[in-house]
Structure 1
Amino acid sequence: MSDLENALNGKSVAILVANGFEESHMTSLHKALVLTGANVKIVSPEKGVVNSWHGNGWGHFFPANAHLATSMSHHFDAVVIPGGSRHVNRLISDPQTARFMRGFMEDNKPVALVEDAPKILAEAGLLEARTVFAEEDIQDILSEKGATAADAEIHVDDMLVTSKFADEALVEKFADCILSYEPEAWEAA
């Protein structure tokens, strides 16, 4: 990880969470991204604070830096969504999630999804013809929405990184995507 220290200076990364997100995912991703020098913001449909899930019960509250309803993809260079079925289902039920994520996907900006988070993009119709890591329990949903499940526990499909774990390997691949993203080339195409 020391190779990435300050590598993302000047980059803005959103961590999209709703009540019930997996606390260990968010905290490890947040810490690792801060170490890269990225400006990390917690974006949430909840106002003020968002409650995590830790182990078998509710975890800590975290301050939400930005409200989902007023956040736009062009405010950020990249977005990451931790796992956690409670928050995944909450995000799917909020139409602002699809709007926010559509901006990232249409601009081909870096997106990282952990565990069951690909379900969010699948339900929004944003994974057609994409290959992603998928937990076994959501593979049928992804297939119905036109996505293919990858064999590996971490998979990169252009600027989309999907992983079973919120770990250093995910952050490294995600950072590589952020560093290689060229908005001018994408807009000119």
Structure 2
Amino acid sequence: MKIAFLVAPEGVEQVELTEPWRELSAAGHSPRLVSTEAGKIQAFDHLDKADTFDVDQTVADATVTEYDALILPGGVANPDFLRLQPDAVAFAKGFCNAGKPVAAICHAPWLLVEAGVVRGRTLTSFPSLGTDIRNAGGTWVDEQVHVCDAGPGPLITSRRPGDLKAFDEAILNRLSGAAA
């Protein structure tokens, strides 16, 4: 399956990008890095600059139909930037409306709040987003990973880097079910 990882030009939490990417690649999926700008993105290890990664496609040139699922890594700055970019918001909303799997970790659900797709859904995130999720009509839970099927497509969410193993397993389980 072809999987879009949507990130800002700067601010993604590196491990929340690289760990799911590695697991999906090892399982035979084809991850692609999508961003608002061409070139490279700057990842972070918390507040410190980490590695850079090549962008495969800009969100302006990407379509929901060419991908099977969407992964939204966190970091505080990453989703905060993306939620102010109309193309990024529309891209995320398009996956939800199309019933395709969407996975978001840490602060990434901010983009889903902006896209207006959390109403009636249950999700988890970094704890500081709980009020935002509730104010957007969602239910926030404090769980390592939560899969919500109360919508057109599955929404897989997780709290933080320490939950990546469970997050990756939930994504792989859902994608293997979608491929069957």
For the 8 Å contact 1:155–1:162, the answer to whether it is kept is yes
Name the SS of the counterpart of 2:21 in structure 1.
helix
Q: Percent identity?
A: 28
SS at match of 1:120: helix
TM alignment of 1:30-49, pairs within 5 A = 30-49=21-40
1:129-178 Cα offsets, whole Å, 9 max, x none, are 00000222111111111010023121000211001245232122112222
Is 2:17 the partner of 1:17?
A: no
Structure 2: any 5+ residue segments left out of the alignment? none
Partner in structure 2 of residue 141 of structure 1: 132
SS across alignment from 2:83: helix
Show structure 1 runs of 5+ residues with no match. 1-10, 183-189
Q: Which protein has the larger Cα radius of gyration, Structure 1 or Structure 2?
A: 1
2:169 to 168, 172, 185: 172
Q: Give 2:82's aligned residue.
A: 91
Aligned residue type for 2:171: F
Aligned partners of 1:93 and 1:28: how far apart in 2?
A: 26
Amino acid at match of 1:175: L
Moved more, 117-126 or 49-58: 49-58
Shift in Å at residue 27 of structure 1? 1.1
The Cα RMSD (Å) is 1.3
Offset at residue 124 of structure 1 (A):
1.6
From 141, 154, 174, the counterpart of 2:145: 154
* Aligned mates of 1:107, 1:28 — CA distance in 2: 26
Q: Deviations over 1:26-71 (max 9, x none)?
A: 1111111110100110111121111111243222110011111111
> Which residue in the other structure is 1:74 paired with?
65
Cα distance between partner residues in 2 of 1:86 and 1:170: 21
Count of aligned pairs:
172
Instruction: Please give the TM-score of this superposition, normalised by the length of structure 2.
Output: 0.90
Distance in structure 1 (CA, Å) of the matches to 2:79 and 2:92 = 13
The answer (yes or no) to whether the contact 2:147–2:157 under 8 Å persists in 1 is yes
TM-score (norm 1): 0.86
What SS is found at the alignment partner of 1:112?
A: strand
Measured in 2, the distance between the counterparts of 1:60 and 1:38 equals: 23
Deviation of 1:88 after TM superposition, in Å, equals: 0.8
For residues 150 and 110 of structure 1, do their structure 2 counterparts lie closer, same or farther at Cα, with a shift above 3 Å needed? same
Report the Cα distance in structure 2 between the residues aligned to 1:65 and 1:136, rounded to whole angstroms.
31
8 Å Cα contact 1:32/1:168 also seen in 2: no
